[in-house]
A and B are shown apart, each in its own frame.
Chain A
Amino acid sequence: MSTNSDSTATTTAGHESDVVLPANLHARPAGQLARAAAEFASTVQLEYAGRTVNPAGVLAVMGLGATAGSTVTVRADGPDAEQAVAALAGILATAE
């Protein structure tokens, strides 16, 4: 099940962004998130359903069990927090 990115709502406030998932957060995007997070100096967190994980942990991200249509919050703290949030939110928003 997938929809195109037009149907996703992304709002950015400072170094935090809520992304409505267009598809389930499965293995492949979880791997992309982990690799993307490693490129930034900032500390990055993903929050879903009250649970917070480090996106560098690919298994923890998959373990969130986040499904299409639900909201994941990307949060970053550090010198490149804005870019980190944009990069990870972009991966979440375009996951197929």
Chain B
Amino acid sequence: MNAPVGIVLVSHSAELASGLRLLVEQIGSEDVPVATAGGTDDGRIGTSYDLVLNAIKDADRGGGVVVLPDLGSSVLTARTVLEDHPRPDVTLVDAPFVEGAVAAVVTAASGGDLKTVVDAAKEARNVHKL
């Protein structure tokens, strides 16, 4: 099996990001590298350039990395990191945070490649909960 696609969860809140990681590990797999970048460097609500950069490194196993932001400055910070460190195999994805993460991790656990995982996360927007 190819190297798994890694997932980075970027949130204003460290607890939100780490809680989501626990959830997706239960639904998906603990074999998929999931890294979090939650809160500021000193633990407040906000986002951190360095935490995002480090999380991308942590999640990278050679199969590419999907970066999922929660909203607002998570998007801006992740975008800035990727502009400063452009890589074709690291993709910022516009998806609902929880649903996108679940879909991405399950798809990565099923052996999906980067494009398949990106598409699964994006498609999460169109799947109704009810």
Binding site for B on A (CB under 8 A): 27-28, 30-31, 34-35, 37-38, 56-60, 62-63, 65
Contact = CB atoms under 8 A, between A and B. Distances in A.
Secondary structure of the A side of the interface?
A: helix
B127 A57 contact: yes
B19 to A, nearest CB: 14
A30 B127 contact: no
Contacts of B129: 62-63
B28 A60 contact: no
Given A27-B27, A34-B109, A62-B129, 12 more contacts: A27-B23, A27-B102, A28-B27, A31-B26, A31-B102, A34-B107, A35-B29, A35-B109, A38-B110, A58-B28, A58-B106, A59-B123
B68 to A, nearest CB: 14
Contacts, number: 52
Contacts of A35: 28-29, 106, 109-110
Closest 3 pairs (CB-CB, A-B): A38-B110, A31-B27, A59-B127
B27 A63 contact: no
A59 to B, nearest CB: 4
Instruction: Decide if the interface of chain B is mainly helix, strand, loop or mixed.
Output: helix
A27 B99 CA distance: 11
A58 B111 contact: no
Contact of B127 (A28, A31, A38, A60): A60
Nearest to A58: B106
16 contacts: A31-B27, A31-B28, A31-B29, A31-B106, A34-B106, A35-B28, A38-B110, A57-B120, A57-B123, A58-B103, A58-B107, A59-B99, A59-B103, A59-B127, A63-B128, A63-B130
Nearest to B25: A31
Interface string B97-130: 0010011001101111000000010011001111
A55 to B, nearest CB: 10
